[in-house]
Structure 1
């Protein structure tokens, strides 16, 4: 037997020996051609040579070793297609140098060798791909778990700052910059946050770029984190903000169901995302409590409700002292309260309030005078107007008069 050519195996099957040095050149050639690490071949080439010469199929433990090589390939970032190409390329290169092929004049012997090699090739490719897929699934599960844990810590804002900044880097998030958070919640039973997250992530990346952007599902909602700066890459039309952009993308993607988008303000720093998230979450809560029939709510527009809502007892007292006298009119307080609400929403312009109420301006002025008569608060006096407006907002927050005020202690 010529040195450097395979002969009958001795020792452990699938493990190269001194006479297998020639296999190293086959492995190196295949690895160079496929641009893949040669060590991913492991004991695969000796298995092929042993099959061609001795007709032996690999044992289960040898195939397990190839399966493990598939896992290593996935862990090293080598795709399944490239790993398979490496194994196929190595197989035909080895076949050209096998003595049973090169020197034999017996077609039947060559046929048997080819059949044995193809069987091993088929077995090896199968377990290689299986190992690769198994590792990829585990990697994806691990990445998803890491992502979910990061999102939870980022939105809570109570994690170690230095560690949080370090964990944010792989996601392209610079916590030194300002960020907006928008929350997307289904308004009916048709919308599903998990299904909406993927197409919405594509849309947000297309609109804002793939840096400083994070989209995830949490508690039945989609969380969208986008940069709070105004760099050209993130430029939006005048007057358009992140909440409106997200709602536009939901409609453009024709996602099932109706969606409510709540947008927090932009804040810088490691806790800026958590602060914006809390604002967006609170905006969703207020939108539900106030019965707002809108598709986009902004935390900045609800700041007064946040102030009022922080002292429930005070707002109850304000509504009771200022507005309950309106209940004395026939039909209850609702008509006069609605007039006040639309009057303030119209910028304290009686003609606009009349248009919204579908009544005459004279009717509006009469009702405002009636409010002053019953409550002692006039919209024409700045100090009394502020108290009236705050009480009207508080009544909306408490859903009064539809919901009775709690009894006085």
Structure 2
């Protein structure tokens, strides 16, 4: 039995390049498994009333569970094939006279059970790993939403193989009756697209965090669009990209805030960027959205001088009429047109556009309230 196990390990070293690169400890465990397999076969074969061999306990029970991480299922199949070859080559010398065929059939039956048991061992390991990964994903998503435990996010992400940046969050509703199945589909689709992915549910709400693959690194909305169809009915909101996983709480917070405020914009696209929902989020009480509108929209106009703010205020109050605005300001309509163009350049929102005028109106109101509560910016 010892000779057979040693011969099998020696042949693995000659034929399997990955086996030669394994640590000495793992190679010794593989050798022990091989010898245990041969010994278990002999004990089973000696029993005249033998039934199905207890492969998992008698063979794989000798190795630590961590060995399944060092040796893949495909590599295990390669090793089993080599073991079969070694034993079959020795059948003529091992069998009693006239018992060669009986021994060959027993070897085939036994090795078949070894193959099935190997698959069962790896399936159990995969199930345990999957359950652990799901719990860890839920823990990370919960930590991101609550803004705590940032110091552990790098470690937790590494445990899940997280490596890609930038990172963004997507929020939406659970498809009715499809919570776990939906998460599995989202993960599978995101990984096929080359993204890292975390997903978790909170009641009827789903939050998905993806590390963008190279193909979509510069276009977050294009990465989110295929996933939106897997969410339940209602809006799907995409948070802004952030540089790494510990920063993903900002993107998740913006996505959740946008999801709460999205009903105020019934015609919003699906998915919609949380940045495009800034006025709705501000009206819903999101302080981050209010700050963004004041800092990015109102204050650039304030610094540009009162003519732009005055023109915008009059233009919005007079139903976006160039002529009425020009009369009220005692300027030529071309001057109004020029100022409106400057406003669009400074803020990114055109006053003549319906959506743009709404964003500008909310930003102006918030800016005036901010000046009421503090000194006006210079």
TM-score for both structures, normalised by structure 2: 0.59
Aligned residue among 35, 40, 65 for 2:33:
40
Please state if 1:214 is matched with 2:214. Answer: no
Corresponding position of 2:27: none
SS across alignment from 2:59: helix
Indicate the RMSD between aligned Cα atoms, in angstroms: 4.6
SS at match of 1:158: coil
Alignment-derived partner of residue 120 in structure 1 = 110
- Determine the structure 2 residue equivalent to 1:349: 320
Match 1:234 to one of 210, 217, 232: 217
The 1-side partners of 2:33 and 2:94 are apart by 30
SS at match of 1:246: helix
User: Is contact 1:262-1:284 (8 Å) kept?
Assistant: yes
Match of 2:151 in 1: 162
CA distance in 1, matches of 2:87, 2:77: 15
Matched, 1:102 2:67: no
Are 2:82 and 1:89 equivalent residues in the alignment? yes
5+ residue gaps, structure 1 = 1-15, 237-241, 312-342, 352-384, 395-409
Q: What's the counterpart of residue 28 of structure 1?
A: 10
> 2:172 pairs with 184, 190, 202, which one?
184
Contact 1:42 1:69 (8 Å CA) reproduced: no
Q: Distance in 2 between matches of 1:95 and 1:198?
A: 44
Q: Contact 1:70/1:130 (CA < 8 Å) preserved in 2?
A: no
Measured against aligned partners, the alpha-carbon deviations of 1:365-399 in whole angstroms (never above 9, x if no partner) come to: xxxxxxxxxxxxxxxxxxxx99x9559x99xxxxx
| Alpha-carbon contact 1:151-1:216 (below 8 Å) kept | yes
Give, in whole Å, the separation in 1 of the partners of 2:143 and 2:258. Answer: 21
After superposition, the Cα gap between the structure-2 partners of 1:21 and 1:102, relative to the gap in structure 1 and judged at 3 Å, is: closer
Residues 186-236 of structure 1: CA deviation (Å, up to 9, x unaligned): 6xx6695644445544554566x44xx42414234443435699x886233
**Residue 279 of structure 1: CA displacement?**
1.4
Q: Deviations over 1:265-287 (max 9, x none)?
A: 34457653112211111111111
Partner of 1:246: 224
Contact 1:184–1:261 (8 Å) recurs in 2: yes
Alignment match, 2:209:
225
Query: Of residues 240, 261, 272 in structure 1, which corresponds to 2:247?
Result: 272
What TM-score do you get using the length of structure 1 for normalisation?
0.55
Q: Can you give the 5+ residue segments of structure 2 that lack an aligned partner in the other structure?
A: 20-29, 287-314, 323-356, 367-378
C-alpha contact 1:193 1:221 (8 A) present in aligned 2:
no
Task: Label 1:26 to 1:245 Cα distance change in 2 as closer, same or farther (>3 A).
Answer: closer
Q: How does 1:289-328 map to 2 (within 5 A)?
A: 290=264, 292-294=266-268, 295-310=270-285
Determine helix, strand or coil for the equivalent of 2:235. strand
| Post-superposition CA distance 1:118-155 (Å, at most 9, x none) | 34334433333322322222122122222222222233
Which residue among 60, 65, 87 is the counterpart of 2:58?
65
Secondary structure, counterpart of 1:43 in structure 2: helix
SS of the counterpart of 1:143? helix
Partner of 1:283: 258
> Alpha carbons of 1:77 and 1:348: their partners in 2 closer, same or farther (altered >3 Å)?
farther
Give the superposition deviation at 1:44: 0.6
**Distance in 2 of aligned mates of 1:163 and 1:95:** 53
User: What secondary structure is seen at the aligned counterpart in 1 of 2:171?
Assistant: strand
Q: 1:22 to 1:148 in 2, by over 3 A?
A: same
Tell me how far apart the structure 1 counterparts of residues 70 and 161 of structure 2 sit (CA, whole Å): 20
- Equivalenced residues, count: 291
Whether the aligned pair in 2 keeps the contact of 1:180 and 1:276 (CA below 8 Å) is yes
Q: Could you say if the C-alpha distance between residues 96 and 166 of structure 1 is closer, same or farther in structure 2, counting changes exceeding 3 Å?
A: same
- Structure 1 counterpart SS, 2:58: helix
